[in-house]
Structure 1
Amino acid sequence: MFKNNNKIIKLEDMVQSGMHFGHFTSEWNPRMKPFIYGERYGRHILDLVQTYYLLNDLLGFLEKSAAQGKKFLFVGTKKQAAPLIEKTAIACNSYYVNQRWLGGMLTNWKTIQQSLQQLQSFRKAEESGEWDLLKKKEIAKKKRQKLRLEKNLAGLENMKKLPDVVIIIGQSEELNAVKECRQLGITTVTLLDSNCDPYLADWYIPANDDSAATVKFLLSNFQDAILSGEKINNENQQLLNVKQNIKKSSRIKSKKT
């Protein structure tokens, strides 16, 4: 349970965001049956009571993970989710992919790191005026390469190693990311609409992943939990530093005596 949440999560707010609306009944995944309350006008309705309890458990997990110093990667390339993914990840010192998942982004991380190094090299060359010595066609080519790298990798620039937890918005659109996480044993957190597969997620929230209001509501709570955990981690690190300084000071005094 997320203990440090100042906001009280209310079922009525979840309903207002449209979190309970699933896909057409013909599009459902039978594995989602336990999380479906019923159907209305040909669409499945998700059981928000279950979602409520699962969300609270998940927030506790996110807070605990952040308190342990674990790193998060947010993934969501849907049009309605992309800007929210970027904003949330930046706000809680995390990484993100919100344009396109490149094959091997995690399983071939060394190659991605090389691309990130190339992006840094392009920036340095452009800023130093090195490109000014090139022909116009060559400059245009390098700028296109730089823009492409920025578009696809901007959210990974500060990521030095593989993330500990990957938060996925839109499972059906991000199956390549899901598969790579499973292959590497990276913990996943996934929003599950009625057409999704809970068997492919470690932690999940049954929710309407097509609703911008729902995605915003959930990401806001994820952000609060992660920031709370980071605060705990920082406090623990400060306390550890104080203890180490005291020990160091004691050793110096004992040597003098």
Structure 2
Amino acid sequence: MIVRNAAARHGRRALASPISRSTLRQLSSESVPTEPAVATPPPKAQLPADHIKDNSLVMSSKQLKMGKAKETIMTLGANSTPTHEGQSWTRSRKIGVSEELTPWDQWVEFRKIRAKTKKLGSIVKRQYNPTDLINDPPRPQDVTLELLMASQTHMGHHTSLWNPGNSRYIYGVREGIHIISLETTAAHLRRAARVVEEVARCGGLILFVGTRKGQMEIVTKASELAGACHVFTKWTPGGITNRDAILKYATTKVVDEKDQPLEDFGVFTENARPLLPDLVVCLNPKENYTLLYDLRSIGVIAGVLGRAGERGQQLRKLASEKKETVPWETSPTLNDFMAKHRRNVQKEQRLALSRVKDNVVGFTEEEQDILQSQYARAELDSSEAAMLESLGETATVEGLSELTASTPNLGEIEAQLASVKAKAGEVEAELKGLNN
């Protein structure tokens, strides 16, 4: 029977071979005489077929390598503290011009020099933290060329992928990559910060858009600083041009000067059109198809523009403090709604007055003047405070019935008219006495 497994045929010979010298002895510079190798014993008789089939006695080459590695590790552990002996560790060497030192003297001198110079040098106190650009972004006046270079705003695309429209922003070429001019980038960034600042100062609505991965914190922090809105999940095409259909189910809130929602505007919020931003800051124009230029330093750009919006909000508040007034401009849509509601309230009051007049018969002109002065108002106050109070009244039939039920009793009106007649009689009697 032919056994085709080499490990089974020659396993005993491999195990019986002499073990090589220790690894430490191989690395040593000394020449240690070795003992003569023992002759390899002749192979023993071949094992029976039944014994060869036993898997417990068969050792592969991988197991042999593992055994040798284990033996080497054990040898290193036994000789973990070797002694440095020999000519290479005791021979003096020339140091400098004429001085000769042994390895031990050199070690002592090294320790002395290290003890003297360990207090010299600089200590790095400020370490780089990637979240600093998010938590405390730079202001527009803090933008420098060094900051832009550290943010990699000068790194462009490969020369074969360039757009001829960006030629005025390219400074040069290095290693097959276009280098963008840092001076041009700084000028455009300051200009954009100025635009954001003025829009925020005038009370405009700003929208920050960044839908790439990792831009959520940057967009939310910039919008928080500028008092703006943000989008970081997905920009729906048509959100501005076709907002009536795309944002049909979006809710609109009516707030006061402290951004607190006002009640009794349910009819307006249900029928109001979605808001339209005055300024959109897009941080990934390639995915959102906007007319902006692609830059890599998203954290610096968003932080600077967010700080610009924050500065605009501060200027707006400072101007209000100097005038000692809080300017509050209502949107034209809300003004139209309030004017329409004003007309409805006037119409309901006229209707209630006509019903009161129809229920009373036999009044003189003087009595009708009293009724008109008591129930009819020449004009409602057109101020916004009066309008907000009048919006608390409902424009339904229930409100009309409540208005009619809240009028004074007719008995009280007749008593007032009787007192007026009595006073008129007294005045006439006095006039007659004076004439006589």
Letter in 1 for 2:155: F
Q: Distance in 2 between the 1:222 and 1:6 partners?
A: 8
C-alpha contact 2:145 2:183 (8 A) present in aligned 1: yes
Per the alignment, residue 171 of structure 1 pairs with 285
1:65-76 alignment to 2 at 5 Å?
65-76=199-210
Per the alignment, residue 16 of structure 1 pairs with 150
CA deviation profile, 1:87-143 (whole Å, cap 9, x unmatched): 22133211122121112111122234433239xxxxxxxxxxxxxxxxxxxxxxxxx
CA deviation profile, 1:28-60 (whole Å, cap 9, x unmatched): 211000000112222211001111122222222
Report how far residue 236 of structure 1 moved: 2.2
1:49-128 alignment to 2 at 5 Å?
49-117=183-251
1:178-197 alignment to 2 at 5 Å?
178=290, 190=292, 192-193=293-294
Per the alignment, residue 316 of structure 2 pairs with 233
TM-aligned CA distance change 1:38 to 1:234, over 3 Å: same
Report how far residue 20 of structure 1 moved: 0.7
Per the alignment, residue 28 of structure 1 pairs with 162
Moved more, 223-232 or 80-89: 80-89
- Structure number having the greater helix percentage: 1
Q: Which gives a bigger RCO, structure 1 or 2 (Cα 8 Å, sep 6+)?
A: 1
Report how far residue 237 of structure 1 moved: 3.1
Q: TM-score, normalised by structure 1?
A: 0.59
Q: Distance in 2 between the 1:112 and 1:83 partners?
A: 26
TM-aligned CA distance change 1:81 to 1:112, over 3 Å: same
Stretches of structure 1 that go unaligned for 5 or more consecutive residues are: 119-158, 179-187, 194-207, 245-257
TM-aligned CA distance change 1:14 to 1:38, over 3 Å: same
Q: Distance in 2 between the 1:99 and 1:24 partners?
A: 29
Q: Distance in 2 between the 1:19 and 1:243 partners?
A: 41
Per the alignment, residue 223 of structure 1 pairs with 306
The percent identity for this pair of structures is 27
Aligned pair count? 169
Residue 224 of structure 1: SS of its match in structure 2?
Answer: helix
Per the alignment, residue 44 of structure 1 pairs with 178
Report how far residue 239 of structure 1 moved: 3.9
Moved more, 9-18 or 228-237: 228-237
Q: Distance in 2 between the 1:18 and 1:24 partners?
A: 15
Residue 115 of structure 1: SS of its match in structure 2?
Answer: coil
Q: Distance in 2 between the 1:233 and 1:71 partners?
A: 14
TM-aligned CA distance change 1:74 to 1:115, over 3 Å: same
Residue 116 of structure 1: SS of its match in structure 2?
Answer: coil
Residue 249 of structure 2: SS of its match in structure 1?
Answer: helix
Per the alignment, residue 242 of structure 1 pairs with 325
Structure of higher CA gyration radius = 2
TM-aligned CA distance change 1:70 to 1:116, over 3 Å: same
Residue 240 of structure 2: SS of its match in structure 1?
Answer: coil
Q: Distance in 1 between the 2:171 and 2:214 partners?
A: 25
Q: Distance in 2 between the 1:235 and 1:73 partners?
A: 23
TM-aligned CA distance change 1:9 to 1:113, over 3 Å: same
Report how far residue 61 of structure 1 moved: 1.9
Residue 219 of structure 1: SS of its match in structure 2?
Answer: helix
Letter in 2 for 1:168: C
TM-aligned CA distance change 1:241 to 1:113, over 3 Å: farther
Letter in 2 for 1:58: A
Residue 237 of structure 2: SS of its match in structure 1?
Answer: coil
Q: Distance in 2 between the 1:243 and 1:223 partners?
A: 24
TM-aligned CA distance change 1:229 to 1:243, over 3 Å: closer
Residue 73 of structure 1: SS of its match in structure 2?
Answer: strand
Q: Distance in 2 between the 1:216 and 1:32 partners?
A: 22
Report how far residue 243 of structure 1 moved: 9.2
Report how far residue 11 of structure 1 moved: 0.6
Letter in 2 for 1:161: L
Per the alignment, residue 132 of structure 1 pairs with none
Q: TM-score, normalised by structure 2?
A: 0.36
Residue 248 of structure 2: SS of its match in structure 1?
Answer: helix
Stretches of structure 2 that go unaligned for 5 or more consecutive residues are: 1-138, 253-272, 328-436
Report how far residue 82 of structure 1 moved: 3.4
Q: Distance in 2 between the 1:103 and 1:72 partners?
A: 18
Report how far residue 7 of structure 1 moved: 4.7
TM-aligned CA distance change 1:46 to 1:103, over 3 Å: same
Q: Distance in 1 between the 2:140 and 2:235 partners?
A: 34
Residue 242 of structure 1: SS of its match in structure 2?
Answer: coil
TM-aligned CA distance change 1:69 to 1:28, over 3 Å: same
